[in-house]
């Protein structure tokens, strides 16, 4: 079994139970699993592969808990630049209805490439449109070429405009076909084992695009197979009004009536949650994918992040769809989480009443341990024996950090977001010397730009 020795990192952040930060640190891994972590002098001196991280900060790989990779094709679309969620969706649905399988492939690789280069080693993606023969399998095959872990969420929409939903009827599917396909992709692809590179998630899209019956049946199907459940919830006040008018419940109460709560459930956004709802989330174990950039971009609001943390709710970070961010940069999202939380403490003191500010280390914790907990991965999120050898490293002599090395960990969050120099997933390099391994980016970007132009033109 191949061994990997990592040594001499200027600082290695473990995110273990004691939150050890080890100067001159490293780790020893066998077959993709960490066996030892500590000062380099305490580690074996031989291995099949040796990685010298002198001059680098090393961190556990970052975990992205919410995304729509296909939306990399519709970044900064003029008609959707200055819109709130519902108007933004109405502008983009007709464009997304033109997606073809090759567009899924291109956008998956572009989005995951950007994620990997920004420090992400595990990504969850929520694909909820399947026009023109597109399948989740298109995304899964494309992701394997980038080499980061994927939690592929089989999304769905079943409530079209004619039935009182938001999306046009042309982009929704029949409930029976959705459930059949969820079952098919679970049986074909889901790997429940520790160290899994690929898991499937069942993920009806949102209260305003899915029927109550499909929400309930999706939960039952996911639980029969032991896979996680994911949806958008409490993202905007428009959605809250929709839920009150249509179902007579606020979003969380509506989800609870559909069996959507528990340790196998996580919600994207969860912006508009009152203190009682935060307590119910903590009690049930439901998790949150906090998406600060998207929440600012669409003027959705400020999630009660510190209240979630204090209550013990599982919280990770999500870059969300590339059309509402408009990037897939994980280290940038860590910075946004820190900044938005601080703005929230000032602008909405009622949601962060203790007046303390989120720290750089707490923001990084959201993107590592927090994200792993949200995805139900006790094998990820920290660097310690028994965990997967997923880590990233950033050179410290970069322009962005100049003058910020009093505290390199804080520099990685406070200073301009860096691209990582090294990313390793299960002991295998996916980024080396700042470049993706195994993906030739320039021709991929060219094809992706051609596809994006075609989709928006409507050819």
* Least Å from the CB of residue 269 to Zn ion: 7
CB nearer to Zn ion: pick between 236 and 382 = 236
What is the contact mask toward Zn ion in residues 3 to 42, using x (rule: CB under 5 A)?
Answer: ----------------------------------------
The two structure tokens encoding residue 407: 């505290």
Residues 316-345 that bind Zn ion (CB under 5 A): 320
Q: Is 22 in contact with 12 (CB distance < 8 Å)?
A: yes
3-class SS of residue 97: coil
CB-based burial label for 226 (10 Å; 0-12, 13-18, 19+): exposed
Residue recorded with tokens 């596809």: 451
CB nearer to Zn ion: pick between 10 and 320 = 320
CB nearer to Zn ion: pick between 8 and 230 = 230
Residue recorded with tokens 């390199």: 408
CB nearer to Zn ion: pick between 242 and 401 = 242
* Least Å from the CB of residue 146 to Zn ion: 20
Residue 108 C-beta-side C-alpha neighbours within 13 Å = 30
* Least Å from the CB of residue 266 to Zn ion: 12
Q: 39's torsion region: left (phi>0), alpha (psi -120 to 50) or beta? A: beta
Residues 258-277 that bind Zn ion (CB under 5 A): 268
Measured CA to CA, the distance from residue 392 to residue 388 in angstroms comes to: 13
What is the contact mask toward Zn ion in residues 281 to 320, using x (rule: CB under 5 A)?
Answer: ---------------------------------------x
CB nearer to Zn ion: pick between 233 and 420 = 233
* Least Å from the CB of residue 297 to Zn ion: 11
- Note if the bond before 385 is cis, omega within 30 degrees: no
Q: Is 386 in contact with 34 (CB distance < 8 Å)?
A: yes
**CA 22 remoteness from chain centre:** 27
CB nearer to Zn ion: pick between 86 and 414 = 86
Q: 403's torsion region: left (phi>0), alpha (psi -120 to 50) or beta? A: left
* Least Å from the CB of residue 128 to Zn ion: 9
CB nearer to Zn ion: pick between 68 and 250 = 68
Distances (CA, A) of 123 to 115, 126, 198, 238, 329: 8, 10, 10, 28, 12
CB nearer to Zn ion: pick between 114 and 320 = 320
Residue recorded with tokens 């079943």: 158
> How many residues bind Zn ion, per CB under 5 A?
2
* Least Å from the CB of residue 320 to Zn ion: 5
3-class SS of residue 143: helix
* Least Å from the CB of residue 110 to Zn ion: 17
* Least Å from the CB of residue 338 to Zn ion: 21
* Least Å from the CB of residue 214 to Zn ion: 18
What is the contact mask toward Zn ion in residues 184 to 213, using x (rule: CB under 5 A)?
Answer: ------------------------------
Q: Is 413 in contact with 363 (CB distance < 8 Å)?
A: yes
CB nearer to Zn ion: pick between 67 and 335 = 67
Question: Where would I find the beta strands (DSSP E) of 195-272?
Answer: 198-204, 228-233, 265-269
CB nearer to Zn ion: pick between 325 and 341 = 325
Neighbours of 457 (CB within 10 A): 9
Q: Which residues bind Zn ion (CB under 5 A)?
A: 268, 320
């Amino acid at each position: 079994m191949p061994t990997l020795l990592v040594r001499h990192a200027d600082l290695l952040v473990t995110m273990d139970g004691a939150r050890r930060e080890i100067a001159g640190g490293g780790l020893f891994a066998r077959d993709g699993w960490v066996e030892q972590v500590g000062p380099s002098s305490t580690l074996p001196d031989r291995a099949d592969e040796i990685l010298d991280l002198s001059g680098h900060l090393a961190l556990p790989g970052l975990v992205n808990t919410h995304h729509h990779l296909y939306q990399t094709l519709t970044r900064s679309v003029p008609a959707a630049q200055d819109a709130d969620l519902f108007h933004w969706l109405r502008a983009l649905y007709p464009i997304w209805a033109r997606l073809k399988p090759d567009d899924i492939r291109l956008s998956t690789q572009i989005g995951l490439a950007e994620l990997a280069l920004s420090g992400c080693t595990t990504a969850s993606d929520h694909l909820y449109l399947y026009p023109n023969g597109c399948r989740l399998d298109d995304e899964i095959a494309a992701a394997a070429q980038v080499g980061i872990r994927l939690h592929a969420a089989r999304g769905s929409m079943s409530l079209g405009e004619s039935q009182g939903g938001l999306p046009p009827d042309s982009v929704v599917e029949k409930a029976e076909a959705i459930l059949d396909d969820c079952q098919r992709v679970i049986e074909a692809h889901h790997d429940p084992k520790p160290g899994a590179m690929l898991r499937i998630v069942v993920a009806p899209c949102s209260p305003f695009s899915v029927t109550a019956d499909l929400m309930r049946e999706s939960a039952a199907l996911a639980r029969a197979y032991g896979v996680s459940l994911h949806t958008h919830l409490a993202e905007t006040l428009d959605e809250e009004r929709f839920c009150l008018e249509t179902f007579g419940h606020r979003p969380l109460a509506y989800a609870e009536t559909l069996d959507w709560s528990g340790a196998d459930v996580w919600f994207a956004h969860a912006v508009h949650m009152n203190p009682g709802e935060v307590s119910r989330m903590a009690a049930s174990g439901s998790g949150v994918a906090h998406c600060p950039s998207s929440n600012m971009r669409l003027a959705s609001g400020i999630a009660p992040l510190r209240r979630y943390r204090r209550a013990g709710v599982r919280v990770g970070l999500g870059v969300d769809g590339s059309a509402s961010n408009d990037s897939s940069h994980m280290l940038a999202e860590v910075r946004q989480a820190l900044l938005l939380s601080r703005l929230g403490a000032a602008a909405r003191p009622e949601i962060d009443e203790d007046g303390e500010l989120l720290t750089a280390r707490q923001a990084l914790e959201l993107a590592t341990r927090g994200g792993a907990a949200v995805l139900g991965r006790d094998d990820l999120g920290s660097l310690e024996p028994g965990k997967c050898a997923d880590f990233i490293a950033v050179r410290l002599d970069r322009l962005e950090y100049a003058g910020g090395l009093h505290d390199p960990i804080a520099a990685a969050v406070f200073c301009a977001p860096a691209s990582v120099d090294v990313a390793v997933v299960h002991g295998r390099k996916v980024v080396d010397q700042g470049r993706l391994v195994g993906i030739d980016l320039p021709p991929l970007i060219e094809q992706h730009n051609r596809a994006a132009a075609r989709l928006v033109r409507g050819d």
